[in-house]
Amino acid sequence: MRMTMTTSTAKAASSSVTATTTTSTSAFRLAGARRATAVGALAVAALLPQTAGTAAEAAAPTSSASSASSASAVRAAAAPVRLGQCGAGELCLWEKDDFKGARKTYELAGIDIESCVPLPKGTSVQSLANRTGRPVTTYQSEECGETAEFETYPGGGTWLPRSPYRVRAFKVWER
């Protein structure tokens, strides 16, 4: 009888461990599936145009007022920047971040290639679009000096909403 009881107890304990292991494995698989779904949803949301909100807002839970207000804060902080209008063959410069303020355009026909082109005295640029088809280097210095900040942008269609420095001159390069 004792042997039978031990065997029965062992079987009961074994089935309990099996049930616990099965439950734990199922819970782990379910949690993994939820994470994979959440990651997949974020990836898809990141690729879609943001018209109704941001990817962070779409993934954020909306069950409470605090999460709704934090989602609004995320949307305000991460609002997508609208690209400035700039025609093919042009270098377009804006005086303010995010393609705002007065816009000045330059075309290759009016620029000496590989020559420093200073902006008018007292003006500077904070955002730009390079659609010249050639590399353009922007300079913090009015004389295109390389002792201050400078950066080169490819000409195939580069939009820079916020320059890391105030641009005061530029050069267009021969490829």
The domain spans of the chain are: 2-77, 90-172
Topology of the domain covering 90-172 = Gamma-B Crystallin; domain 1 (2.60.20)
Q: Specify the amino acid at residue 96.
A: K
Q: Mean of the pLDDT values across residues 94-119?
A: 95
More confident call, 30 vs 154: 154
* Alpha helices by DSSP H, the chain: 2-47, 55-59, 65-77
Q: What is the predicted pLDDT for the residue at 156? A: 86
Residue-wise pLDDT tens digits, 40-71: 443 333 333 333 343 444 444 444 444 444 44
**Please, which residues bridge with residue 90 across strands?**
107
Q: Give pLDDT, residue 169.
A: 97
Q: How confident is the model at residue 130 (pLDDT cuts 50, 70, 90)?
A: very high
Give residue 77's pLDDT: 56
H-type alpha helices, 48-146:
55-59, 65-77
Closest CA to 117 of 97, 93, 99, 89: 93
Residues 134, 155: contact at Cβ < 8 Å? yes
Mean pLDDT in residue range 63-81: 51
Closest alpha carbon to 139 in 164, 162, 159, 122: 164
What is the pLDDT averaged over residues 94-120? 95
**pLDDT at residue 75, rounded to an integer:** 47
